[in-house]
Structure 1
Amino acid sequence: MAGTIRLDKFLAEMKKGTRSQVKEAIRKGRVLVDGAVCRESDYKFDPAAVTVCMDGEEVAFSSVEYFMLNKPQGVVSATEDNLHPTVISLIGDAKRKDLFPVGRLDIDTEGLLLITNDGKLAHELLSPKKHVDKVYFAKVKGKLREDVTEAFAKGITLADQTTVLPAELLIESSYEEDGEPVCEARLTIHEGKFHQVKRMFEAAGGQVVFLKRLSMGPLMLDPLLEPGESRPLTAEELKALRKS
């Protein structure tokens, strides 16, 4: 049972318009409940047991939604913003309007972002006590200290004297670009401090010039998703997330 909900609230939550717009639609007889016109905005019903149509189309009900997004650069991890497009604006097939990103990726960072309206799951994934693994691919310019892998494994101290938890660093390649040393690496962290990955590499003598999140807990970025694309989570992915 989904519980009861007001008709106007249901339509607004299912992205059929603002509350005032759906009230007007109801008043004009554009909304049917189980095949009959309903002109009462405050009519309460169980959306799991009733069929609602607006302008001749059934309004599908979803109490919770889960989307995997491959966040592109230039988009902010927010529900609304006056200057930049938001990650929520990229979820074109969402039914609900109360979705939010689980955590944040910087505007210039790409990769995996979970979008949902499940507050309980989001809290579990973001709780500092849970130490959920997050894996990033980073391209770093500059000469890193020789013991960077060991320093990260012990828990490096940032420029502001904050010490982060031990992290696993794997240098995948090293080369020169425009006469400057560059490395490509995978970094697994177990917390989510502000700009943490960038600050860790800065503390080791480097500058992150590209950053992409590859996974969060058991959830791995679908390689078929291009930047800006999203898809609903599979039942298996959601089950694994809840277990973690």
Structure 2
Amino acid sequence: MQRLDKFLADFGIGTRKQIKEHIKNGAVTVNGQPVKKADMHIDENADKVTFMGQELVFEKFRYYMLNKPDGVISATKDGRTTTVLNLLSDENIKDLSPVGRLDIDTEGLLLITNDGQLIHRLLSPAHHVDKEYEVHLRSELSDSDIEKLEQGVDIGDVKKDGSPDITMPAVLRRGEADDQGRPVVYLTIHEGRFHQVKRMMEAVGNEVLYLRRIRMGDVKLDESLALGEYRRLTDEEVAALSK
């Protein structure tokens, strides 16, 4: 049970003052009956609430897949730069957070949800969740470079005892060159360190020219999504992330 005005506020209907006005004007019904008090309590799981004729369906958790474009930051709010939540303009974004971060110039798969337990599980190093990236490089990787990356490399991080904090073993496969003739590889890692992919390539004397994430766990980027577009995760995708 929760107060009606809080329920409406969670859907972005307006401020408490604005909600009172909407209720006064008869714009809100509960189970088909116009309501007069903003502080009435409702059962969000059983009562049917409408605003201006549109039903507001309560969802405890919400899950989205975004094809993040370049120039957008993986944050909930920022006073100067467009955030990933700004791109979900038609959704109730209250309490939503990106699952991890992609650099401002990195594109591709970003999951967004208000399921805190799922976020923790996907980001915890203990769970070794795959994160696969399409990496466009300045120059070809040698077989020796690939072997080093797959075994783990020193990217400058240190442990508490002062020793190098080597990256976890990775998986790498070669792809076809891009339209500009640049070599492409597909790199799967299990961590989320700061600028990790770029620093891993720097550790073997290379440079990342373009980067996008294409998979997290068993969920792949929907290639039908244009940059900046998003969709709800399917029940099957949510189950795959939760298993």
TM-score (norm 1): 0.89
Which runs of 4 or more aligned residues in structure 1 lie more than 6 Å from their structure 2 counterparts after TM superposition?
none
Q: Is the 8 A contact 1:110 1:211 kept in 2?
A: yes
Q: Does 1:166 align with 2:169?
A: yes
User: 1:218: which partner in 2?
Assistant: 218
Match of 1:199 in 2: 199
Which stretch shows the higher mean deviation, 202-211 or 58-67?
A: 58-67
Q: Provide Cα deviations, 1:181-239, integer angstroms capped at 9, x if missing partner.
A: 94211100011111100110011111111000010001110111111111111111111
1:70-109 alignment, distance < 5 Å: 70-109=67-106
**Shift of the alpha carbon at 1:18?**
3.0
Q: CA RMSD in A?
A: 2.1
- Of the structure 1 ranges 94-103 and 117-126, higher mean CA displacement relative to structure 2 is found in 94-103
Residue 51 of structure 1 deviates from its aligned partner by 1.4
Q: Give the aligned partner of residue 188 of structure 1.
A: 188
Q: 1:69 to 1:24 in 2, by over 3 A?
A: same
Higher strand proportion = 1
Structure 2, unaligned runs of 5 or more:
158-163
Cα distance in 2 for residues equivalent to 1:23 and 1:138 = 52
Report the secondary structure of 1:69's partner residue.
Answer: strand
Q: Is the 8 A contact 2:68 2:109 kept in 1?
A: yes
Distance 2:218 2:140 in 1: 32
Question: What residue number does 2:161 align with?
Answer: none
What is the DSSP-based 3-state SS (H/G/I as helix, E as strand, rest coil) of the residue aligned with 1:103? coil
Alignment of 1:83-162 (within 5 A): 83-142=80-139, 144=141, 147-160=144-157, 161-162=164-165
Asked if the contact 1:90–1:229 (Cα under 8 Å) also holds between the matched residues in 2, the reply is: yes
Partner of 2:236: 236
Q: Percent identity?
A: 49
Paired letter, 2:28: V
2 CA distance for matches of 1:58 and 1:111? Answer: 33
Q: 1:40 aligns with which of 37, 41, 44?
A: 37
Q: CA deviation at 1:173?
A: 4.3
- Is the partner of 2:226 in helix, strand or coil? coil
Residues 93-102 or 44-53, more deviating: 93-102
Q: Which moved more, 1:141-150 or 1:183-192?
A: 141-150
User: 2:12: which partner in 1?
Assistant: 15
User: C-alpha separation between the residues in 2 aligned to 1:121 and 1:8?
Assistant: 28
Instruction: Look up the equivalent residue of 1:167 and give its one-letter code.
Output: A
The one-letter amino acid paired with 2:78 is D
**CA drift at 1:31:** 1.9
